[in-house]
Each structure stands twice: as structure tokens, then as C-alpha cells.
Amino acid sequence: MGRLARRWARLLPACAAALLLMGCAQLEDAAEEVGRAAVEEVSKELLGTLQGRAPGESGEEQGNPGQHAESSGMDDETEAQGVQERAVSGILEIHFLDVGQGDCILVKNGEHAMLIDAGNNGDGDQICGYLREQGVFKLDYCIGTHPHADHIGAMDDVIRNMEVGELILPDKIHTTKTFEDVLDAAEEKGLGIMTAAVGDTYACGEASFVILGPVEDYGDDLNNWSVGIRLSYGGTAAVFAGDAESAAEADMCGTGLALDADLWKAGHHGSSTSNSPQILDAVSPSYAVICCGEGNSYGHPHAETLEEFRERGIQVFRTDEQGTVVAYSDGEEFSFSCEPSTTWAPGTASGGEES
Ligand SMILES: [Zn+2]
């Protein structure tokens, strides 16, 4: 029996009870009036409610329905279909860890947490230590945006030292030892791999995120394979797109998915090959956080990117100058652990290979 069939089988008694309560006759009348499509919509909403998801969120693509339902606590706050904003009661924390030239972002909401990337190969102790300090021993999700070593370097250590619900990766294999280490760690822990699929929605406590990319097959251009997500919490949102460059950013803009957000994780460590005017128009952020290493060999962040941010009035935070940066959302607005950077100083080195 397929996954979907099993889910239906499990839910049928609950559906039947709920339909009885609603009154089947009433539902049949409604069907005559508005047609089968509308009834299907009602059923979908009901299913969504029973599974703890908001109406309109697709469930079929999700790999582990039990966990998604368990992770979501939004039933009571669920609003009308199409309205994504939900009331929240706690604080969403987004920690941009200072791992030098690399990305590692901890998202935390109450007892729920997820990690976007895990720095370089030597960062395992630092990252796991930081997570423990934060009281995080279980990650609902680990997202490895793309197979470069400055993003998945210590993901194997994280998988071995933490309880991980789901590992989300782009549908792109890579032949490096770093990448194979991640697969080995996942296998050791019996952790399945979820392929990022555009439009899939996941819940993490009172927050939720939708997959924005990768949209296309980008061949061997690993940066463009980056998993992009839009994380929303109450009326606030943040967009993360790994190292996706302008072509992949343009594709994300073409999906029709909402991109507007308060916070933009600067693409590709602030490189001018990412952070295109098109994506910045679509996201229209108030804040940008640049994850990069002091004196990195790529000259990140690039002057063009900083100029683009400055012209748009975007407040900039950067891990090379400020160390680990934490953003807090109460569902209405973001605040930060430090004041924005005002140096507008680009990286000085150049000539390194982009990663
Ligand atoms: Zn990178």
C-alpha cells in the first residue's frame, strides 16, 4: 500500500466522524450547488485540519506525515484559505552562526528547531556546541542547501550528534568525500533524504517554510542547485537561498510563489553574482544578513552588493564583522542581537575560486 493510501486509511475513521458531525446531507446539498470541485476542496481542508496543517497547504508531497503533523501547532490559529498570516504566541529566533567563510543558520521556535547548512568540515564541534548551549538536541529538519564544503562541511557531525527529523537536500549528487560523509552519516542514523521540491511546505513549531528552489536542472553549477526557502512566522518572513546566483534567483522569481520578506539571507556570502536587482525587488527586504569570513579569499561581500543594499535602504548585518548575529521575530517585526553594520566595507581579497 502506498504512502498516500496508508495515510487515507489512517484518516478515514476520523474523516467519517467529522463528516457525520458536519452532516452528510448538508454536504451533498452543497455538492449539488457548487459542484464536486468545491467538495473536494472542503475534504482537503478537513484533511489539512485533521493533520494539523493549514488549508491550502499541500500534504501529498511531504515525506513523513506523522512528523509534519506533530511539528505543527497551528490548528487553532489557522485562518481562511489563502491567508498565510497566522497568529503566533512565541518568538522565532534565527541564529546566523559565525563559521568564517561558510553558512550555518539555526532557526528556533520554542521546542522546535531546524538547521540550514552546517559550515565547513572543521566546524562540527563549534556548531554542535552552539546548538547544545541553545538547548537544541533535536532538529526537526537539516537543510543542506547544496553540496559545497562551506555549506555541508560539518553536516555529518550534526547528524551524528543530534536527533534529526528530516534531511532535505537538492536533487543533485556530488562525488566529494564531504558529500559522501553526509550520506554515510544519514545512512548510519537511518535518516531518509528528502529531495527539495518547489512548493512543498513544512511546519516547524509555529513557523512554516515553503521550498522556492532549485527550480531547474543546473547541471554542474552547484551554486544554482541551492535549496531556497521562504520561512514565515506570523506576519514576518525571511528568505534563504544558499549560494543561488542570479539565473537561479530569476527562476525562483518565476515560480509565482510569494517571495516578499523582511529579512534576506544575502545570496552567496554577498557575492555580486547573486543578490540581483530582480530578487531584491521580489523579496523587498528591510534587512540583509551576510554570512562570510573575515579576510576571505573571494572578496565577499562584493562592493556592488553592498551598494545595492545601501541604495535600497536595507540594513546590513554581517558575521565577518559582528560574529554570530541573531534575529528575533515576535510575528510582527524583527529585532537583532546587535546594531546594523555601517562600514559598507567590501571584502578586500580577490582571485579565489568561488564556492
Ligand atoms: Zn558558499
- For residues 122 and 156, state if they share a domain: yes
- 166 with 197, same domain: the answer is yes
CA of 150 to the centre of ligand 1 (A): 5
Ligand 1 mean position, distance from CA 295 (Å): 15
- Averaged over successive runs of 10 residues, the pLDDT of the chain (355 residues) comes to 43 43 40 38 34 35 37 38 70 98 98 98 98 98 98 98 98 94 97 97 98 98 98 98 98 98 98 98 98 97 98 98 98 98 90 50
Helix 3-22 with 24-34: angle, nearest 10 deg: 100
- Rounded to an integer, what distance in angstroms lies between the CA atom of residue 60 and that of residue 4? 7
One domain, residues 127 and 40: no
- The span from the CA of 230 to the CA of 213, in Å, is 10
Regarding whether 46 and 156 lie in a shared domain, the answer is: no
CA of residue 151 to ligand 1 center, whole Å:
6
Are 218 and 188 part of one and the same domain? yes
Cα(208) to centroid(ligand 1), Å: 24
Q: C-alpha 354: how far from its chain's center?
A: 23
pLDDT of residue 103: 98
Distance 112 CA to ligand 1 centre (A): 26
Ligand 1 centre distance from Cα of residue 94 (Å): 18
Are residues 282 and 133 located together in one domain of the fold? yes
DSSP for 123-186 reads GHHHHHHHHHHTT--EEEEEE--SS-HHHHTTHHHHHHHSEEEEEEE-S----SHHHHHHHHHH
Burial class (CB in 10 A: 0-12, 13-18, 19+), 43: middle
> Which residue in the block uniquely carries the three cell numbers 551576510?
290
Q: Specify the pairing of strand 201-204 against strand 193-195.
A: unpaired
Residues 98 and 56 in one domain: no
Number of domains making up the chain = 2
* Ligand 1 centroid to residue 194 C-alpha, Å: 21
Query: 212 and 271 in one domain?
Result: yes
- Residue 351: what pLDDT? 52
pLDDT the model gives residue 29: 38
CA of 243 from ligand 1 middle (Å) equals 6
Q: How many helices (H) and strands (E) does the chain have?
A: 12, 15
The rounded Å distance from CA 61 to ligand 1 centre is 28
The whole-model pTM stands at 0.77
Question: Do both 193 and 263 map to the same domain?
Answer: yes
Q: Which domain holds residue 35?
A: 3-71
Q: Which three cell numbers stand for residue 150?
A: 562551506
Same domain, 168 and 237: yes
Residue 223 lies in a domain: yes
CA of 18 to the centre of ligand 1 (A): 49
Tell how strand 287-290 and strand 263-265 pair up.
Answer: parallel
86 located within any domain: no
CA 298 / ligand 1 centre spacing (Å)? 10
The answer to whether residue 76 is domain-embedded is: no
CA–CA separation, 180 and 13 (whole Å):
43
CATH number of residue 166's parent domain: 3.60.15.10
Cα 200 to averaged position of ligand 1 atoms, centre (Å): 24
